[in-house]
Chain A
């Protein structure tokens, strides 16, 4: 394959692979606490950060990290309050984020619909060497945090009250998750794009949990699926000349469908091949009326 004689392709692939690993490693916690769409919202907010960066002629990745992190912490503080108005507050934040981003980008020197599209849907050719370094460093930080704190993060996402009674620093762990969400969203915007980032956090997890039994195995399988989808997404998009983010997401969805159908088929075959497994005796035996 002569695709990889180009440096930019290698950089794009490298960036995609790191994100393919990091996004599901974080996403599994978001899915577990039913915040599957939060990455999407933070992506909206990050666009304002991109606008700020372009306007100030600074690296849009850095400004996006900062703005997205502020947004994510805000979201977490709203969620912690648990007020009913939280839902509305999130909506205001997200739409404000994307509208602010579009306006700011249009005001900057780099004002073309092309540059906006790059951030929204990702692009192969825009990953600069500095970008790869930033992605690698931040991606590794996210991965290490998600793996090293897995027991504590699992406890918080599984049962926050229990975690609190255990004396865990619940708020610090929640803020860690908020900030790593912002970081993951931002480093993924170059390859997958802000509007599809969340897909790479959620779909590999959804696919993995069709066949796994435990949290740890789900996490490992989701990271593997994310890695393959992101890598294949870059290659296929270069070959077929399609946007890389959308291609990656389509591939991940295809994996989800294939695994779901395959698992269902396997269960069916097993059930037919084997006699029914001995089931636990029921707690209460209901007697049919009249059979006394």
Chain B
């Protein structure tokens, strides 16, 4: 059974069509990367799948159910691009991750032992258990991103949908959540992620879908690193980034403002 099925989807904002006739099927256990340039419509595609953007034409099914009738949202874990801008009101890492349990337990039941255990498990998985009582604002960008992955994992979803999880994230955090995603995929989970570049996530990807100007331009195995990127001892250093010490992978700081 397909986990996500998009058929001839067309989406527009305020009269301008962003996606034209997009079809995509993601099977159970698959790890699919949606690639594309800024403004290509790749984020709109997953936001439409999640119901955050209304579908203009076409049909979307989640776990075999038409999206409009789909109620089993606990099976879907969403990882947005970044922690909401937030406000001055502090919140601990544990409190943010605990939000991920609401889909499972509903809004009427208070948090129980199973919820607390799931929060701790998820934070352990992304390597942030020691920060559980710290305010999220004291975390680095990469650690905040891992917090958001933990929030999604805490709900024990079958499908993870990630929007640009590697944008502007330090190398250590990229490795940490590549590992967490790897364990999720190994346990049979399905992943759809939007990315600008794959980085350490590349080995996980079964299939890449390239979106260009609102259409699917290419579908197939993830693009191989070309040229000197493919050399075994290649240090991935962006020439436009600040020159770093040898052996250190520089986070692409110029890519923070994706979409």
Using a CB–CB cutoff of 8 Å, the interface residues on chain A facing chain B are 28, 31-34, 149, 151-152, 154-155, 158-169, 173, 205-206, 209, 212-216, 218, 280, 283-287
Stretch at the interface among B22-30, B132-140, B186-194, B216-224: B132-140
Contact residues of B: prevailing secondary structure: loop
Which residues from A are CB-within-8-Å of B134? 213
Known: A167-B71, A287-B243. A213 touches B52 (CB 8 A): no
Closest B-chain residue to A215, C-beta based?
B91
Contact assessment for A151 and B102 in the assembled complex, using a CB-CB cutoff below 8 Å? yes
Whether, in the assembled complex, B256 has its beta carbon less than 8 Å from a beta carbon of chain A, the answer is no
Offer 25 A-B interface pairs, CB within 8 angstroms, sorted by A: A31-B87, A32-B87, A152-B102, A154-B95, A154-B99, A159-B99, A160-B84, A164-B52, A166-B78, A166-B99, A167-B103, A168-B107, A209-B88, A213-B90, A213-B92, A213-B135, A214-B90, A214-B94, A215-B92, A215-B95, A283-B172, A284-B244, A284-B251, A286-B242, A287-B244
**Least Cβ distance of A207 to chain B in Å?**
11
What CA separation (Å) do A33 and B170 show in the bound complex? 28
Task: Count CB-based A-B contacts (< 8 Å).
Answer: 117
> Which bucket holds chain B's interface residue count?
35 or more
Give chain B nearest CB distance to A218 CB in angstroms. 6
Q: A158-B96, A165-B50, A165-B73 are in contact. Are A215 and B89 (CB under 8 A)?
A: yes
**In the assembly, what is the distance between CA of A164 and CA of B52, in Å?**
8
Whether A285 and B50, one on each chain, are in contact in the complex, defined by CB atoms closer than 8 angstroms, is: no
Indicate the member of B91, B140, B245 with the most A CB atoms within 10 Å: B91
Residues of chain A lying within 8 A (CB to CB) of residue B100: 166
Interface positions, chain B 76-94, Cβ under 8 Å from A, are 76, 78, 80, 83-84, 86-92, 94
Residue contact B84 to A158, C-beta cutoff 8 Å: yes
Q: Which chain A residue lies CB-closest to B100?
A: A166
Q: Told that A154-B91, A158-B86, A168-B103 touch, could you supply 14 new A-B pairs with CB distance under 8 A?
A: A28-B89, A151-B102, A154-B99, A155-B99, A158-B91, A159-B80, A159-B83, A165-B50, A209-B88, A213-B135, A214-B94, A280-B140, A284-B250, A286-B242
Q: Does B52 contact A165, Cβ atoms closer than 8 Å?
A: yes
Interchain CB contact under 8 A, A149 and B76: no
Contacts of A163 in B (CB 8 A): 99, 102
- The reply to whether the CB of B33 lies closer than 8 angstroms to some CB of chain A is no
Instruction: A287 to B243: give the CA distance in the assembly, Å.
Output: 8
B111 close to A (CB within 8 Å)? yes
- Which residues of B from 180 to 206 have beta carbons under 8 Å from A? none
B98 at the binding interface (Cβ < 8 Å): yes
Contact (Cβ within 8 A) A284 B91: no
B74 touching A165 by the CB < 8 A rule?
Answer: no
Chain B nearest CB, measured from A150 CB (Å): 9
Are A284 and B242 in contact (CB-based, < 8 A)? yes
Answer whether residue B41 sits at the interface, using C-beta atoms and an 8 A cutoff.
no
Which residues does chain A contribute within 8 Å of B80, judged by CB atoms?
A: 159, 161-162
The distance from the CB of B194 to the nearest CB of chain A, in whole angstroms, is 14
